[in-house]
Amino acid sequence: MKNLYIETLGCQMNKSDSERISGILSHFGYVETDNEKEADMLIINTCSIRQLAADKAYSKLGVWGKWKKTRPELKIGICGCVAQQDKESIRQRAPYVDLIFGTHNIYELPSLIKRIENNEKVCAITNKPVVKNQNDFKIERKDSVNAWIPIIEGCNNFCTYCVVPFTRGRERSRKPDEIIEEAKNIIKDGFKEITLLGQNVDSYGKDLNDENITLANLLRDLNKLEGNFRIRFVTSYPSDITDDLISAVEECEKVCKYFHIPMQSGNSRILKEMNRRYTKEEYYQIVKKIRTRFPDVTITSDFIAGFPGETEEEFQDTLKAIDELELDYSNTAAYSPREFTKAAKMTDKFLSEQVKYERLEKLNEKNREVCLKSNEKFIGKILNVLVEGVTVKDETRVLNSRAGNNKIVHFEDNTKNIGDFANVKITKAQTWCLYGEPVG
Ligand code: SAH
Ligand code: SF4
Ligand code: F3S
């Protein structure tokens, strides 16, 4: 038995990848530990969406490299989006690394592991993904309630700021049968929530050349599986949300009434510069359509502050959009230039760090304001929640839970446990969470 430590940066797709990496390595006698100091193998699964995330990977490698000086038998690996993109600089900056593998090479690990155990230095990064039936390998899921299923990987959109098409390649959908089999295993193992993952989850099936294979139909098929569980899907691209998808969400009682639809900017000129395939008005229409179909739906978004050439007025359009659309929550970030992307070449239009971070702060302030307003709307309503955690404070049992619409709800209860569903009447709202009392 050997100890494996994996540190995961970045998005849910990376978290899901790490669970799969850990599962594959378990076939070779590696057991995951939370304590990096007792590991025989250290792996960092990296993100390169912004410079800050990429820098974190290198600083961690630096620390681990020092450890290896006194413990040369320690194996160090790096994978994920920085690895896929940056193998040359990794070799230069961290020559002691034993294993570099890309996002396309996870299923090559069985042979790579044998090679590093023979003290070879290995680098496996290809542009063509190594594809295997994922159900042939164990998955070491981290959460006991929610299980991720990646259904489509990669992106064909090439938004001008974004590195993902370069780190994850073009869109590749998994076969519906393989996904359903994974879902059945998840339900059998007692998970209560399945989250379907994709950089553009609503593009699911487009590359499989069968018009019946769509996200909407996949939701319908999963909804038919027996068991008490719920289904989520992220991330949606605004103009790819079809009427059929909205209908499927409505029909399927297990599918949560929740949409994550990044808008990125509230100004149509900036959206065009970003190569987003919708205008501000079209985004407004999509939100309106969803809100009229589902009364208690929540819609969350992502925004970038300070895209090259963004004027103060154009930035104000973003703040206005967040208000007018009553968005329930948004992830926010200051624009960070990424290698290979078009926007990174617009250097003459770059804004100063100061302007970007001032705008980011205003975005965050607006976000806090609309989040509180959104939460207050639920006071007096009853939400069905899934218990994710229990904290005991001064002998009172407080349950941390999540509603179908993704709101975090805390309530006191002595009967429910992690993995139980409950109906909770909301009594109090704060910026990031709700409080309530169990009913019925
Ligand atoms: N596929 C999703 C987004 C995936 S990336 C979509 O199309 O909406 C996650 C988020 O990171 C993006 O929504 C964007 O807001 C942010 N992001 C991506 N590239 C960025 C960059 N260069 N600088 C700042 N934020 C960025
Ligand atoms: Fe990046 Fe755009 Fe693809 Fe989203 S749709 S992953 S932002 S290129
Ligand atoms: Fe980061 Fe790669 Fe995800 S760049 S956000 S880990 S797809």
Name the residue range of residue 393's domain: 382-439
pLDDT digits (tens, 9 = 90+) for 251-267: 999 999 999 999 999 99
Lowest mean pLDDT among 25-29, 127-131, 419-423: 127-131
Q: Is residue 265 part of a domain?
A: yes
pLDDT for res 295: 84
What is the mean predicted confidence (pLDDT) over 308-318?
A: 98
What is the mean predicted confidence (pLDDT) over 384-407?
A: 94
* Sheet with strand 99-101: strands edge to edge: 30-32, 2-8, 41-46, 75-80, 99-101, 122-124
CA 101 to centroid of ligand 3, rounded, Å: 15
pLDDT for res 54: 95
Q: How confident is the model at residue 88 (pLDDT cuts 50, 70, 90)?
A: confident
Regarding the beta carbon of 50 and ligand 1, being less than 6 Å apart is answered yes
Contact (CB, 8 A) for 405 and 258: yes
CA 162 to centroid of ligand 2, rounded, Å: 6
Cα–Cα dist 48/53, whole Å:
6
Q: Relative to the alpha carbon of 341, which ligand is closest?
A: 1
Q: Is residue 150 part of a domain?
A: yes
Regarding the beta carbon of 162 and ligand 3, being less than 6 Å apart is answered no
pLDDT for res 32: 97
Whether residues 337 and 404 fall in one domain: no
Nearest CA owner, ligand 2 atom 1:
162
Crossing angle, helix 81-93 and helix 51-70, to 10 degrees?
Answer: 50
Q: How many domains does the chain have?
A: 3
Whether residues 324 and 394 fall in one domain: no
Flag whether pLDDT at 394 surpasses 90: no
Atom of ligand 3 nearest to the CA of 12: 3
- For residue 11, the domain's CATH number is 3.40.50.2300
Whether residues 172 and 318 fall in one domain: yes
Nearest CA owner, ligand 1 atom 12:
302
- Sign of the torsion formed by the C-alpha atoms of 169, 267, 297 and 144: positive
Atom of ligand 1 nearest to the CA of 163: 19
**Which of 376, 398, 415 is the last residue before a domain boundary?**
376
Whether residues 252 and 274 fall in one domain: yes
The residues, any chain, with a CB within 8 Å of residue 396's CB and separated by 6 or more, are 412
Whether residues 336 and 210 fall in one domain: yes
Whether residues 287 and 341 fall in one domain: yes
What tokens were used for 245?
Answer: 């998808």
Flag whether pLDDT at 236 surpasses 90: yes
Q: What percent of the chain has pLDDT over 90?
A: 96
**Which of 124, 148, 166 is the last residue before a domain boundary?**
124
Q: What percent of the chain has pLDDT over 70?
A: 100
pLDDT for res 87: 82
Flag whether pLDDT at 86 surpasses 90: no
Most ligand 2 atoms within 8 A of CB, residue of 11, 84, 103, 158 to mutate? 158
Q: How confident is the model at residue 393 (pLDDT cuts 50, 70, 90)?
A: confident
Cα–Cα dist 308/413, whole Å:
50
pLDDT for res 440: 79
What is the mean predicted confidence (pLDDT) over 91-109?
A: 95
Whether residues 247 and 345 fall in one domain: yes
The residues, any chain, with a CB within 8 Å of residue 332's CB and separated by 6 or more, are 302, 303, 304, 305, 360, 363, 364, 367
The residues, any chain, with a CB within 8 Å of residue 27's CB and separated by 6 or more, are 110, 137, 138
Nearest partner of 46 among 82, 21, 19, judged by Cα: 82
Flag whether pLDDT at 24 surpasses 90: yes
**Beta strand pairing status for 146-153 and 172-173?**
antiparallel
Whether residues 118 and 158 fall in one domain: no
Flag whether pLDDT at 365 surpasses 90: yes
